[in-house]
Each structure stands twice: as C-alpha cells, then as structure tokens.
Amino acid sequence: MMNNVAQVELNRVSGGWSCASNLNPMRVPLTGAWAHATSTLRLMNFFDLKRTSKVCTVALALLVPVVASAVSETVWSGANGPWSTATEWSGGLPDGAKNVSIPQGEVELNTYANARLFQIGCEAGKSASLTVEPGGTLEIGSAGNSRLGAGDGSSGTILQKGGSVVVGNNVYIGGFRASGDAKGAYTLLDGTLRVYRGDLVLGGNLTGSSVSRFEQQGGEVELRGLLIGSGRYLGMKGSPVNEAEYVITGGSLRVIKELTIGSASTDGNGSVNAMLRIGAGTDILVRGNVVFNAHDKSHPTLSYILDSTGTGTLRAVNTADVSLAGTLQLEMPAGLTAFAGDSLSLLEAGNGKVSGEFSTLPAPSLWSLESKAIDKKRSALRLTLNPQARLVSLGAGETAVFAASTTGYAVLTGLTAGEPYQTTLSVQADSADGLDAWVTSLKEAGFGVEVADDQTNALTLSGTASAPTLTLAWDLAVRAPGLSVTGISR
C-alpha cells in the first residue's frame, strides 16, 4: 500500500471505467452509486492505491469528485457540405466530449476536428459519407467504439485522400448488430490512419448480413489488431453472410497485435467470407499471431496480386505464430504476367511456428507451395513454378510451337533490364469476342498489345524488361476462358 497525490480522470466505458492519471493508466471497478454514474469524473486528492496485476482499486472515500458535463451527441443534418459548418450539427460543432452521428449526406473535412466517437451511415435505410482531404485531421477518443455502415440496410463510407485519422478504440466497418444488410467501406488513397487501443473490425455483423471493404491504395496504416470477418450470426434463424475484404495495393500496413482472417466459432447458421488481398510491392508487418479460421461457416482467403514487379509480402515478426487454413490465391490481372525469377516469396515468419496448411492452392499444374528457411530462425512460404509447366526457353529471333495450353510458362532470355522487349503469342480462341476481351484486359494490365495476324490470332505484346531474363506465365481458365496459347516467337 502506498500514498500518492494524483490527478485522475475517469471515463465511463463498457464493463467499467478507464482511468487516465499522472501516474499510470488503469482500469477501475466501481461499486454502489459510483457504478451508475455516466459522466466523466475528474478527481484530485490523496488516495490509497492498491495494485493487483493491471487492475487498480481506488479508496473512493478519499476522493472528491467533480462531475463534468454529460456526454452529448451532435447529429449532421443530412446536407452535403464541410464538417466546419456549425449550423448543420444539431448540437454544434463536434468536440472531444460529443458523439458524432452522420446518418445521411456527404461531409468533407479539410481542417482539424475531434470527437468522442463517430457513427457514419448507421441509420436504417440511409447512406452517408465522409471525405478527409489532404489538409484534414480527425482525432477520435478512446471512450467508445466507432462504426461505419452499421444500420439495417444502411451504407457508410470514408474516403481519405490524405491527412490524418487517429482513433482510440475499435472501428467496426459494415454492421455490428444490424438485422438487415449493412454496408461499410473505407478507402485510403494517402495519409495516415492509426487505430490504437482498439481493432479494425471488418464483417463483424452479429445479427444479419454485411459487406465490409477496406481498400488501401497508399499511405500508412497502423492498427492494434486487424480482424477480417471475425464475427457472424450465431443464431439458427436464417443464414446471413458477412463479406469482408482488406485490399492493399500501395503503402504500408502495420499490425501491433493479431491479424485474424475468418471466424473461430462454429456455432449458428451465419457464415463469413473473409479475404486479405496483397498487391505487388506492398509491405505488411504483423507483430502478433496470424490466424486463418476455416470451417464450413468460415471461408478465409489469402490472395496475392502478381504483376511485372512480383508480389507483396506478409511478414510475421518476433515470436508470432502463423496458423494456415482456407484458400491461397494468386491473381494475374489479365491471366498473364511477365516477371523476374521462378518463385515468389509470399509470407515470412519470425521465430514463431508455422502450422496448418491451405486446403486450396493456385493452379497446381503451374505452381507448387513450399516452405524454405531464410536463416536459422526464420522461414518463408514461397510459390514456385513447376518445371513440368515450362513449355519453352526463347532467345531473340527464336520461335516455338506447342500443344494448346491454358496454363504454362515460357522463359525469355537475352533481354536488357530497363529496355523495351516484344514477344508474339499465337492464340487459339473459341470466339472473336473472347479474344477482344483479352486484348482489353492485357492493355489494362500494362502491356502494349497489337494484333499481328487476324487469321492466326497472333498478338504482339510489348513491355519493359525488369531483368535480363523474364518468366512469361499464363493461367487463362478464369481471366480468359475459351482461350489457349499455341506458340510464341521473338
């Protein structure tokens, strides 16, 4: 037992109180009349502090409470306009003591703003959006959960073009306890998002269906935890589905604790489809465990997007364990990609153990999955091209013809890194429309494409070599059905 002079602020939270002081943050269980208080209490006096693990009790008889103003809510009118328009808020401009509700309308933030928590697009049947401009900063406290698109039949979106968003508690995207469909989406183009003392939760609707999507095209994201599809309906009436997806095609993602994909519970009729999609050149670092939960009601997918620069990498560091399950997927945007090397590093594990396995793998005729040691303590999960799928190795001026192939690869040698190259494919197509659609897809994927011969369906592809030797791999079954490659020339 020890005596201290302290300044203490108690804030009502779920299950008790959070306590901030000039000593240490603590959780304080209160009884009697104190347990029913709803406001913020600022306390200053002598008190006895008894610490048991991380739980502290305060001798309230020695404290003199000063009750601050009760928590209030300010609601956006539903108009389209800037956050700073005080007349559009029912309770005046938001501040750190106010819950913010934007049930409808399009709101823009290009200055500094703060709030106790936010609910955007959480009123039944309505939609709302918030756009954070490059000059905007939004700071949300730690007193309660924030929600995006959490009402019956509602839709909530945040588009962050830049600036900073900092949240001190959980953020639920796409439902929470909505009995109907709920939709939530967060798109980060640039800037920073930090969720501390809480997790980013996608697909956490416990009573109905939801669609949740987080798309990161750039910027920096730091989260305490990332839960993708961790919640679902556990009752027996109906079969609602939560669709949850985190897509990162640019920037960096840091997860301080656990990354979970899929729902652990096997009870009830609800199901969840959960996906993490990782684009080329992106970096994901997880300091806690990486867990894939797969069963007949939970379907997790880890998907990598392959382009000319390769793929991104998921790194589990320190002593984090990795538990594999579900589906491993490799996406080639046009069904064909030219890249350096013959293998792709997908996941790197630190000192922890890697257990389990994926039940579904990408094109087994083209790829094999293997674990390789990086050093004495670390290992990597890699996709490697099967030697049996190699159809030809070609230098400049050479031509090869082979049986029609929907999957396979060719090795292009004698290139100069950073310089243009060309190669011509002979294609067998069930229809002209199918071939035209593939030409469009190849152009969207970054290839230069010309029809070299209408009679033989020969396509000349051009690009910039990333290395002296490239692997030209294709898997057309999904992206270009009805097409196959029958030859290649340079």
Query: What's the pLDDT tens digit per position in 341-399?
Result: 999 999 988 888 889 999 999 999 999 998 877 777 778 899 999 999 999 999 999 99
The residue-averaged pLDDT of 248-267 equals 95
Average pLDDT, integer, range 196-206 = 92
Q: Return the number of other C-beta atoms located less than 10 Å from residue 223's C-beta.
A: 22
Cβ atoms 278, 309 nearer than 8 A = no
Residue bearing the bigger pLDDT, 372 or 32: 372
Q: Among 328, 257, 331, which Cα is nearest to 299's?
A: 328
> Tokens 């806690």 — which residue?
288
Q: Strand, helix or coil at 222?
A: strand
With left for phi above 0 and alpha for psi between -120 and 50, is residue 397 left, alpha or beta? left
Residue 478 has pLDDT above 90, yes or no: no
Angle of CA points 216, 295, 180, to nearest 5°: 60
Write down the pLDDT at residue 372.
Answer: 77
| pLDDT exceeds cutoff 70 at 224 | yes
Tell me how far apart the alpha carbons of residues 250 and 281 are, in angstroms, rounded to a whole number: 7
Q: Mean pLDDT across the chain, nearest whole number?
A: 86
pLDDT exceeding 70 applies to what percent of the chain? Answer: 86
Give residue 208's pLDDT: 86
Of 53-67, 122-136, 375-389, the poorest mean pLDDT is in 53-67
Work out whether the CA dihedral 360, 362, 368, 369 comes out positive or negative.
negative
pLDDT of residue 70: 65
CA-CA distances (angstroms) from residue 462 to 18, 98, 276, 402, 440? 61, 57, 31, 22, 14
Instruction: Give the per-residue pLDDT at 295.
Output: 95
Other CB atoms within 10 Å distance of the CB of residue 101: 24
User: Pick the residue with more confidence: 22 or 103?
Assistant: 103
pLDDT at residue 232 is higher than 70:
yes
- Residue 137 scores a pLDDT above 90: yes
Amino acid at 477: A
- Mean pLDDT, range 186-203, rounded to an integer: 96
Whether the Cβ atoms of residue 318 and residue 450 lie closer than 8 Å to each other = no
- Using CA atoms, how far residue 57 sits from 21, 50, 128, 424, in Å, is 13, 6, 42, 75
Three-class secondary structure of residue 168 per DSSP: coil
pLDDT band at 183 (very low <50, low <70, confident <90, very high): very high
Model confidence pLDDT, tens digit, residues 76-89: 999 999 999 999 99
Alpha-carbon distance of 235 to 309, in angstroms, equals 46
Question: What does the pLDDT read at residue 97?
Answer: 95
- For range 11-20, the mean pLDDT: 46
Residue 377: predicted pLDDT:
72
For residue 324, what pLDDT is reported?
95
